[in-house]
Chains A and B, each alone.
Chain A
Amino acid sequence: GAVVSQHPSRVICKSGTSVKIECRSLDFQATTMFWYRQFPKQSLMLMATSNEGSKATYEQGVEKDKFLINHASLTLSTLTVTSAHPEDSSFYICSAHRTSGFYNEQFFGPGTRLTVL
């Protein structure tokens, strides 16, 4: 199977600090990874598309300076929440894209719960 891991699974930080979340594809290469956030009892919202070797593309309304994305290798993308505030508290989920012919596949990580105090 295709496994995607996230680290950490849970993080609590103080307001004003930065938090880095890692997303790794464990047994396949992913030229593209995606970052989502989910507020309690709501759906997943696509934040940005992370492209290996190039800049990430952000969805409308997502601050690129707030949510820094680095896709340093074919198996690792990181999301850094800079100067975190309580309103950034959320569940962050990544996915990794594996192309299977014309029909693409995405595999999701288990998520990271961020709590900003």
Chain B
Amino acid sequence: SQQGEEDPQALSIQEGENATMNCSYKTSINNLQWYRQNSGRGLVHLILIRSNEREKHSGRLRVTLDTSKKSSSLLITASRAADTASYFCATANFNKFYFGSGTKLNVKP
């Protein structure tokens, strides 16, 4: 079965606040990636964290990975209205990707 659960399913915050999304997975992974998707559009790759890494930063994004708990979190700091989108984690086990259920983020101006 395809793996990956995310919470919360939906998150609504005010512009300027931080947004945290969590992802849990079931099997061993090579890496975990986070993507965003605007409504009805394709995927935009945000960040990749390898299985031997614990934390990674990219601009306003901070990703953590805990392989012992099989979980990851994505933190978006100082959110903007343009961050409104759905966010998915994807776990990679060699060649195959499995996507989480996604978090729909709404940032209110």
State the Cβ distance, B79 to closest chain A Cβ, in Å. 21
Interface segment among A12-20, A70-78, A103-111: the answer is A103-111
Residues B43 and A108 in contact, CB atoms below 8 Å apart = yes
Cα separation A110 to B96 with both chains bound (whole Å): 19
State the Cβ distance, A35 to closest chain B Cβ, in Å. 11
A91 CB contacts on chain B under 8 angstroms? 40
Cα separation A85 to B88 with both chains bound (whole Å): 28
A108 CB contacts on chain B under 8 angstroms? 35, 42-43, 45
Question: Which of B2, B42, B99 has the most chain A CB within a 10 Å cutoff?
Answer: B42
* A7 interface residue (CB < 8 Å to B): no
Q: Is the interface of A mostly helix, strand, loop or mixed?
A: strand
* B92 interface residue (CB < 8 Å to A): yes
User: Which residues of B are interface residues toward A (Cβ below 8 A)?
Assistant: 1-2, 4, 30-31, 35, 40-43, 45, 48, 50, 88, 92, 94-102, 104
Cα separation A20 to B95 with both chains bound (whole Å): 24
Instruction: Count contacts on A: residues with CB < 8 A to the other chain.
Output: 27
The residue in chain A whose Cβ has the minimal distance to the Cβ of B88 is: A43
* A67 interface residue (CB < 8 Å to B): no
State the Cβ distance, B14 to closest chain A Cβ, in Å. 23
Cα separation A59 to B99 with both chains bound (whole Å): 14
CB within 8 Å of B: which A89-117 residues: 91, 93, 95, 97, 102-111, 113
A43 CB contacts on chain B under 8 angstroms? 4, 88, 99-102
The residue in chain A whose Cβ has the minimal distance to the Cβ of B4 is: A43
Cα separation A110 to B37 with both chains bound (whole Å): 10
A32 CB contacts on chain B under 8 angstroms? 95
Residues B41 and A106 in contact, CB atoms below 8 Å apart = no
